[in-house]
Every structure is written in structure tokens, then in C-alpha cells.
Structure 1
Amino acid sequence: MPNKSAATLTPASRQEHLDRLRDATAQNPLDVLVVGGGVNGAGAAFDAATRGLSVGLVEARDWASGTSSRSSKLMHGGLRYLEMLDFKLVAEALRERDLLIKHTAPHLVHPISFVFPFFHKVVDRAFIGSGVMLYDAMQMIGRKRAVPMHRHLLKKKMLEYFPALDGEKIVGALEYFDAQMDDARFVMMLVRSAAQYEAAVTNYTEVIGYLRDGERIAGARVRDVLTGDEFDVHACETILGGGVWTQEQQELAGSEKGLEVLASKGIHITIARDRIPAARDTGVITKTEKSVLFLIPSDEYWIIGTTDTPWTHDPDHVAATSEDIDYVLEHANEVLAEDLTRDDVIGVYAGLRPLLQPIKKSEGSSSKVSREHTVMRMEPGLSAIAGGKYTTYRVMAEDIVDFAVKDTYPGRHSLTRSVPIIGAQGYAELKRDQAELAARHGFDEIRVERLLFRYGALLTDVLALAEEDPSLLEPLEQAPRYLRAEVLYAARAEGAVHLADVITRRLRLDYEVRDRGVGAAEEIAAIVGPELGWDEARTRTEVETYRAFIAARLEAEASHSDDEAAAAVSRAPEVPVIP
């Protein structure tokens, strides 16, 4: 049974989770140790824990600090895969998207409509229309729809929905539906869900080696990044969900075979909501010569992206260049009536897609491959998963856990199709009573919607903090979208360790305000510092480190090559190195 109190990730509970990992000895090993705290690793830990297995999850940095916090923030079926005739993948993604909306995470995943503009009246309406019709038809097989059907829009109606589109170039459009989410928050909630089922979960816990029992991998040696303490964690099965760091971990394990993962950089920019007039929950999707262009409404801004270019540098140091930003602006301006400029850009973020390379035939007996993700036995006791897409994380988690434990625990089947993510239960009631909630606390409608989308039923825990200090219901002075209570809750329940964890992943200030959260850094540090045991010197270090990190990112965004961008961000880490 779930234990809600176990899902509260505090500094004290982090130590308790570390102690439980340390207690996983050769004589009393964990059933499963998961390495990597992105969506794949968090999903695998949640899946394994709900099966009743003893589980550990370790992440070298913060939860979702890599690719899993730098996506387009969409849970979508993958419309473009229909063009590749990958019907099975699209059907699977649509099924998972609908499950998230209706049951697993209705508080974290919400429907959103997109306008797909037509530049050629007959050809586009026929070609794109037939593709979206098939997309919608695949959502009707054996289940009730979670989103409305698509519809064609004549030019006049299209401009009513999205008046910012260029009516001189665009002759009509099609409206269809997918879903959006906050990616970093989604992963953090998955981690807390795993903890609720007694998984031992620790961020800033780095794997520095793998344990062996003869030819078998028997767990990992880890280092607590905060203290430097090193210890062994024994496990019957170890699962690697390393994303673009997969090969690095394979080499550390001494595996002679493994998965080949290449990195592709995708960047997004944010623009103020009033710069692109449109219906509140309607975005735009169109194709470019290299990728797909999304204009996605999110809170009080637009997320616009993306790019798709090879990244050959250290994955820890990914950053956008000036050319990347100009590319996104150029392609956005091709569909907008009024051009955007660099002055309109509020924030920028860059991430790496892990592109899985084909598996050799000789390795087929120890791997399971789909078009989008692969699970593979690299060594006895060590399995890995790579590739895939956000929307199908649950299926991927089920696949890798099934694969890893098929011999050791063959009767433990996945339950995540029916088990919701923390915050889902009770969300519908809060949503129904949101007007009363707003009146009770003096919030406007937008504030309440934003809070419910971020916390679901856990919002009652956030607001309860104000019972001890009513000032916590006040907004941050330099970031008024967020309440002071949200900042305190990040340190008291959401596993934040550093200032950057709060600013960039518990909140989203590094890309949703023009100063990237620098102005609010001291105010936020003053709230979380006492909770995290910081003295005055540590607090100052956290603030100065974050300021330097943002300065380095801005330097990268003015550069003209990946070499320069990587060099710039490598000089200023996101979090301080604690002696």
C-alpha cells in the first residue's frame, strides 16, 4: 500500500534513504537498483516499486536535470511518425497519452489544441487532413476519447482562433488535440510516487563503479556528492536509464557490448504571451526542413522550438548558440504575421535527445528492440534502456523491469496502468471546488489553475504551510507567478538540494522570466536556506553560483558555434561543488 509520508522528500529523509541504500548488502541486496533519475529511470523505479520489489534509485545530479527537463513539454502521440508509417508506435503513444489524461496523471497532463496551417489549399488539406484523420481514428479503437476530434478551419475561422498567423501566406488550417505537461515536475512526481511505495530515492548520488559477483553485476558503488561519502549498494538486478550518458555508464561497468546512443541538440525559446495573439489554449505546429516547429502556449508565455542538430561535446555542457535562436525565430516568423526579434526572447533552454543506433544482429538474443526504444542485457545482472519518447515512458518502464526481473521475479507483473501518480487522487474534487479555493485564499482563477496543474491534490499540503506563517501565501517579489509557500515546499517535500534545483526545476524561472531567475535568487535562498541547513556563507555561495551559471548560459547564447557554447557553460557549473 502507498505511504504518503514516505513521498515527502526532505533533507532528513534523504539521509534515511541513503542509509537504506547502504543497508543493501551482499547478504540483503535490493531486488532492483535503478541508475539515472530522468523519466526512464524514475518510471522504472515506480514500476518496480509498485510490484512490491525493494528498489533503489540514484541520480548523479538533480531529478530530471538532463534531457527530461528540456523537452517541448508535450505528451503527444507523435503525428510525424504516421508519415514514417510507424502505426504501432503512434497507437501506443496515443493510448498512453489518454491514460495519463484520464487516470494516471490528470493533474500533470492536460489537453491542448494545435492549429496545423495549410500553405497549399488543396494538397495540404488532403495530405495533412488524411494524416490527422488517421491519427484521430487510432484514438477511437476500443476506448473513449480523452480529447476532441480534429476539425478543418477555413481561413476566416483560423484567424479567429489564431489571429497572429500570416493570412497572406496561410490559406486555412486544421485543428487537432494532444496534451502538455511540465516535464521536470512530472519526473519529480514520479520519483515521489516511487518513494510512496518504499523505494529508496536519492539525488546527487553518483555511481562511480559497478560491483561484481563473479561474472555478474551485483549493484554499484556510489558517492554522496554532498559529503563525498562512498559506499556499496548491492542489488539482484541493476537497471541503467542513463539517456545520453548511457555509454559512459556502460564503460564504467566494463561491458564489452552495449547500446550506442548519439546526442542530438534541441533548443526552445520563450516569448511573452501577448506577443502572439491567439485563443488561450491553442498552439501551432508545422514542419521545417530539419525538424518540427511548435508554438506552444504555456502559462503566460509561449514555448517555441525546436532544432535537431548533432552534439559531439560533453552532454553536461549543452547550450544554445546565437544561430540556434535565430533559426527558431526565422521559422516562427514564416507563419506569423508580425515578426519576432531577439528582443522578444525571454528565455532559452537546450537539451539532448538520445538517438539510439541499430543493435548488431549478433546481440539480438539479449535485447528487445522497437523503433523508439531498446532494452538490453549488457551483463548478467545489468540491463539498460535507451531511446523512446516521453509519452511512452510507462510502457518503457514496464518493458525494462519485465526484462530485468523475468528470471529472478517472474510473477511480479506491472501495475502502473492502474496505479496513479501521486497528486492524482483527490484532484478532481479540488478542481470541482476551485472557485471556493480561490475565494478562501484570495487567489484569482489563473493562480488556482496554475497551482492545481503543478500540485494536483498535493496543493492542500502546500497551502497548509501558511497555517504556521500566513506570509507564505504572498507571491515572490521578483517572480510573482509563484507563492513563497511553493518555494518552501520545494525544500520541505520535493527533494531540492541546491538553489538551482528550486529555480530551474521546481519553479521554471530560468526560461520564463527575462533575468532567468537571478533577481529572485536571494529571496528564494532566504526561504530554502534554513530548511536545508545553510549558513550565511553557503547561502551566498549558492546565489553566486547560480548567477555565474546564468551569465555563462547568456554568453553561450551569444556565441556562434557549439565549441564556444560548450566552453562557456563548462566554466560555470549549475550548482556549487561542496567541499
Structure 2
Amino acid sequence: MQKQDRKAGFKSLSEMEFDVLIFGGGATGAGAALDASLRGLKTALIEKSDFASGTSSRSTKLIHGGVRYLAQFHFKLIHEALTERQRLLENAPHLVKPLPFVLPTYKFYEKTYYSIGMTMYDILAWKGRLPAHKRVSKEEVLKDFPALKREHLAGGIVYYDSQFNDSRLNVLLARSARKEGAVVLNRTELVSFQKKNGKIVGAKIKDLLSGQTIDVKSKVVINATGPWVDDIRLKDDPRTYRVLSPSQGIHLVFKKETIPCNTALIIPKTKDGRVVFMIPWENHVILGTTDTPVHEISEDPLPLESEVEFLLQTGSDYLEKPLERKDILSVYAGIRPLISPEGNQDTKSISREEVILVSPSGLVTMGGGKWSTYRKMSEDLIDRVVQEGNLAPNFGCNTYHYEFPGKEGFSEELHSEIRKTYKTSPETAKRLQDAYGGEVFTVLGKKPSLLVPGSGYYKEEVEWFVAEEFALTVTDVIARRFRVQFLDLKLSEKLISPIAQVLSKRLSWKESERKKQEESAFLLVHNLSGSIREKGKK
């Protein structure tokens, strides 16, 4: 979004009365903005930082039913998630892909035991089109996941779930909401609520770039701020109680050569009490996640030493070659916004189902849930908002078959077309194919220029992020548009200055702003690098 477009969008906020004003541009907020817009409701979406800058970009990159919920008998949650999985496979095939998993077995009874559970998983996904699970031999397991430890391995189970690019889907939700008529702005924060007779009728918001504040009128206000839902609730009522039980999860990232694999792996039993995954993603391998209760919430959370050690040890227990700190290319941490009105602090036992709370002032808060069910969560949320605000939408929910930008023109043959057109490596062509789908040639044009020779990342992509995808900072690009910060911290450092040069030109930065942006991005990468060094080493 260019500067003039942003200015016009901000001005329009004060000139309209909205049906729905949404704070929080993660999966829940952006999904709700799209749903509301498609119903014909006048909608505004406000994000303090960047879309997906919080939890929504720091997931395990899975759209899945949640195998671990089988043991907890959460069959309704699993069925709902598996139904949504199929919808996303159809609506965004460039972003959401089938992914086979290996579940290794080491005792003679485990294959039968796990197979019973996976049969239930298949039944709950009965409308889906992914293959059913199957029992496999030791040789087949090692063919799928060569890095696996061979000692005592008896065989395993192969089943299917799906993988996706979380922050790109989040950005496309915000972009689609804007396309369907919503006013969409990031780097804009809530200052205070406006009330009449004790009921919220709008809010004062501040543009964090210009410092300008304006008043926005709205019939209903939604709090979808994830880990910050309690902060917003306290702005509404300083006497209210806290409902958030935040939990941190981290992921370590490795080269695929470090963990050779052709499928994903699920480790069903850990000391942490959660399952742990090893997942091929963007030509790398992700190992995660942890579940650590936290008391302080940061916009850029860093992994705890104990979490890094836990994942290294857990991964090494299942791999032929143990993992070492020097093998880690990157790390990312996210905060789960788990809602527990009863005050339960055992985060592993709190249900991942969404919770909707309505305050006496009419503020509608949604927390909990997960990426896999974001669409259904958004539908439930807007249904409740229509009821609470006595709104009259023009249409019912229309997100069931909504086709995301990039689906049109997407095909498996696109990979070879990209390689031929731009003379790229297979890895770069795959990244471009999966990121942009049928829009790839619009994004890159005829003769794109690499930001850094051999990097596989292009100047034209950055220009597209500014023009169409709300990017306003260097970290917006390296972390949430390119995902490089999540994959390779050393490459991130090389890209920071070239990206800043493009942004500086497109956003008319002064030299001081460009240097400030570079310093901020370098500092974040440095802090992440420091969090994975061995203790005592600088």
C-alpha cells in the first residue's frame, strides 16, 4: 500500500460509521474482516504492528486436525479442523499442501495401538480427499525419513495432514478483506474507547507513522488481539479480570542435510507433555514445539535456554545423528493466546477451542483457537457480532469457497514455467510458485533483479509487498513476506540493507529512517542468533 493510499484509508476511518471495527490483524482478526466484508457489513481492520507479526506467523506451519487431541477425546474439535483443512486445500492450493507424516513405532503393540487411533482420525475426516493412514515396515519408514534412529525401530504409521505458509495466508486475508471493501490499516493502535450510556460506540485510534489521532464510529467493536486481549479488555474496563493463560512455543530450524527427510515426523511422547514435530518446510526442517507458561508477553519473544535444550535433546533421541547447537540456522518463538476464564494455568490441558466473551460495554473478544479453524472461528465471531449489534448483513457467510489471490492460474506445471522464464533454481521456483501461485508473473515482471546475487530473492517482490501487501518495515519483509528470518539468520543479515534501499525509495524515507530501520532489523537478528548460541559463548 503506497503512502497516499494509506493516508486516504486513515482519513476514511473518520468519515464513515462502521458496522464492525476489528482490532488485531492476526488470523482471527483478518479472517473476521474478510467474513464481515463478504456479508456486506461496513468493516475496518486495525493492526498495531504488522499483519501476522504475532502468534499467527510463528506456528508449526500445519493445517491439521490435531492427532494429540485423540487421546483427549476432543472429537468435535478434530472433525471441525479436518473439515476446514479440506476447504483450505481447495481454496488456497498454492499456500496449503498435503503433507505425509511418519509416526515411528518401537514396541510390538504400538503399530496396532496407533492404527486404532488413526482409524478414528480418518473417520473424522470422512469428507476429506487425503489418503487414509497405513501401517508400514521399518524399511518403508527409513525410506520416508532416513534421518530416523534405526535401533529398536519396528516400523510405523504413515498418515496425511497439510502444511501451509502462515504469514502469507494472513496477509492474503487482509488483502482480500480490503478487496471486498474493508478499510485495512497496520501500524495503527487503539488509544481509547468511546462510550455512550456505558456502551462502546467507537474508538480513538492513532497512526503510529504520522502520530495523527482520529475518532472512529462503529456499531460493534471486536477485540481479536491474541496475546494482548486482556490489555484491550482493561482499556474497556480497568476493573475486569484477566482471562489469558499465555504459553510460549518455540521452533528450531535446520538445513535439510542435517535432518534428511522426505516426509514429516511426529514424536508422540515427550517429557514436555506435547507431541513434537520434525517438518520439511521451505527446503529446511522445523523442529518444535514446546509449551512453556509465560507471565510477560513480548512482541518479539525469544526462546528460553530450557526450550532450546529440550528440543535438541528430544530430536536427538529420535535421530541417528544427534543434533547440536551449531546445526541451528534459526529459531522463532510465539505466544499461544489460550483463554481460561476459570484461571487454569496448566496450558497443556487448556482446550484450543475458541472462546467468545462479551463485556457489559458490548466489546466482543475472541481468544483461543488455532490456524486450522480460523475460518470457522471467523464465521462464529461474525455471527455473534451480528446478534450483539442487531446488524442487518446483506448476505450470509460466504467464506466457504472463497478463492484466495494466486489460486487462479496455479498448477503444478507452473514450476517449470517459472524456471524457464526466470532461469531459477528448482528451490527458488518452488518458493515463488508456492508464495504467489498464478500471480507470480505479475509480481516479478519480465526481468526481475536479485537483491543479493545467488539469494533467490528479488527486488520486485519487495516492491509488490509495499504496493499490495502492506509492508512498511524491513522486518515486515524479511520475517513475514520472505520468511528468511525464520529460515536462515545469516542470509537475513545479507538481505537487510538491500531491502532497506528498496523500501526507502518506495516509501520516501529520509536517510535517518533508513538507517534506523536497518539497525532495528540487525538488532532483532542479532538477538535471535544470541538465543541459540551455547552458554558462555559470544
| TM-score (norm. length: structure 2) | 0.93
In structure 2, distance between residues paired with 1:74 and 1:358: 27
Cα distance change of structure 1 residues 200 and 383 upon mapping to structure 2, 3 Å threshold? same
- Give the 5 Å matches for 1:100-499: 100-102=88-90, 104-122=91-109, 124-140=110-126, 143=127, 145-254=128-237, 257=240, 260-279=243-262, 281-290=263-272, 291-358=274-341, 372-406=353-387, 407-410=389-392, 412-428=395-411, 431-464=412-445, 466=446, 470=447, 472=448, 474-477=449-452, 480-499=455-474
Please list the CA deviations of residues 489-534 of structure 1 after superposition, one character each: whole Å capped at 9, or x if unmatched: 2122211111111111111121211426112111111122101111
- Residue 444 of structure 1 and its aligned partner are, at CA, apart by 3.9
Runs of 4+ in 1 over 6 A off after TM superposition: none
How many residues get paired? 526
Q: Corresponding residue for 1:51?
A: 39
- Partners of 1:347 and 1:516 within 8 A in 2: no
In structure 1, distance between residues paired with 2:240 and 2:123: 41
In structure 1, distance between residues paired with 2:489 and 2:520: 18
Equivalent residue letter for 1:438: R
In structure 2, distance between residues paired with 1:426 and 1:115: 32
What runs of 5+ residues in structure 1 fail to find an aligned partner?
1-8, 361-368, 561-579
- Partners of 1:259 and 1:356 within 8 A in 2: no
Equivalent residue letter for 1:10: Q
SS of equivalent to 1:71: coil
- Residue 379 of structure 1 and its aligned partner are, at CA, apart by 3.2
Q: Corresponding residue for 2:347?
A: none
- Output the aligned Cα RMSD: 2.0
Cα distance change of structure 1 residues 359 and 239 upon mapping to structure 2, 3 Å threshold? farther
Cα distance change of structure 1 residues 557 and 210 upon mapping to structure 2, 3 Å threshold? farther
- Partners of 1:258 and 1:378 within 8 A in 2: no
Please list the CA deviations of residues 375-425 of structure 1 after superposition, one character each: whole Å capped at 9, or x if unmatched: 121134321111001100001001111101125225542110122222223
The answer to whether residue 503 in structure 2 is matched with residue 528 in structure 1 is yes
Cα distance change of structure 1 residues 40 and 356 upon mapping to structure 2, 3 Å threshold? same
- Partners of 1:245 and 1:315 within 8 A in 2: no
- Residue 258 of structure 1 and its aligned partner are, at CA, apart by 6.5
Cα distance change of structure 1 residues 101 and 264 upon mapping to structure 2, 3 Å threshold? same
- Partners of 2:328 and 2:532 within 8 A in 1: no
- Residue 486 of structure 1 and its aligned partner are, at CA, apart by 1.6
Cα distance change of structure 1 residues 502 and 436 upon mapping to structure 2, 3 Å threshold? closer
- Residue 478 of structure 1 and its aligned partner are, at CA, apart by 6.5
Equivalent residue letter for 1:33: L
- Partners of 1:43 and 1:394 within 8 A in 2: yes
In structure 2, distance between residues paired with 1:282 and 1:372: 25
- Residue 437 of structure 1 and its aligned partner are, at CA, apart by 3.8
Please list the CA deviations of residues 193-214 of structure 1 after superposition, one character each: whole Å capped at 9, or x if unmatched: 1001010000000001111121
- Residue 326 of structure 1 and its aligned partner are, at CA, apart by 1.4
2:487 counterpart (496, 512, 520): 512
- Partners of 1:322 and 1:558 within 8 A in 2: no
In structure 2, distance between residues paired with 1:559 and 1:282: 27
- Partners of 1:516 and 1:550 within 8 A in 2: no
- Residue 458 of structure 1 and its aligned partner are, at CA, apart by 2.1
- Residue 37 of structure 1 and its aligned partner are, at CA, apart by 0.6
- Partners of 1:38 and 1:187 within 8 A in 2: yes
SS of equivalent to 1:384: strand
Q: Corresponding residue for 1:576?
A: none
SS of equivalent to 2:493: coil
In structure 2, distance between residues paired with 1:395 and 1:255: 31
Q: Corresponding residue for 2:346?
A: none
In structure 2, distance between residues paired with 1:129 and 1:479: 45
The answer to whether residue 7 in structure 2 is matched with residue 23 in structure 1 is no
Greater mean deviation of Cα atoms: 287-296 or 59-68: 287-296
In structure 2, distance between residues paired with 1:91 and 1:45: 25
Cα distance change of structure 1 residues 498 and 479 upon mapping to structure 2, 3 Å threshold? farther
Cα distance change of structure 1 residues 504 and 371 upon mapping to structure 2, 3 Å threshold? closer
SS of equivalent to 2:338: strand
- Partners of 1:170 and 1:335 within 8 A in 2: no
In structure 2, distance between residues paired with 1:300 and 1:370: 32
SS of equivalent to 1:376: strand
Cα distance change of structure 1 residues 556 and 274 upon mapping to structure 2, 3 Å threshold? closer
- Residue 218 of structure 1 and its aligned partner are, at CA, apart by 0.9
- Partners of 1:321 and 1:559 within 8 A in 2: no
Cα distance change of structure 1 residues 359 and 11 upon mapping to structure 2, 3 Å threshold? farther
- Residue 358 of structure 1 and its aligned partner are, at CA, apart by 3.6
Please list the CA deviations of residues 94-153 of structure 1 after superposition, one character each: whole Å capped at 9, or x if unmatched: 000011002x2112111111101112121x11221111111012212xx3x332111111
Please list the CA deviations of residues 460-508 of structure 1 after superposition, one character each: whole Å capped at 9, or x if unmatched: 32022x4xxx3x2x43327713222222221222111111111111111
- Partners of 1:329 and 1:340 within 8 A in 2: yes
In structure 2, distance between residues paired with 1:419 and 1:186: 13
- Residue 433 of structure 1 and its aligned partner are, at CA, apart by 4.4
Equivalent residue letter for 2:121: Y
SS of equivalent to 2:131: coil
Equivalent residue letter for 2:369: G
Percent of paired sites with the same residue: 32
- Partners of 2:489 and 2:525 within 8 A in 1: no
- Residue 217 of structure 1 and its aligned partner are, at CA, apart by 0.5
In structure 2, distance between residues paired with 1:283 and 1:19: 50
SS of equivalent to 1:346: strand
- Partners of 1:498 and 1:542 within 8 A in 2: yes
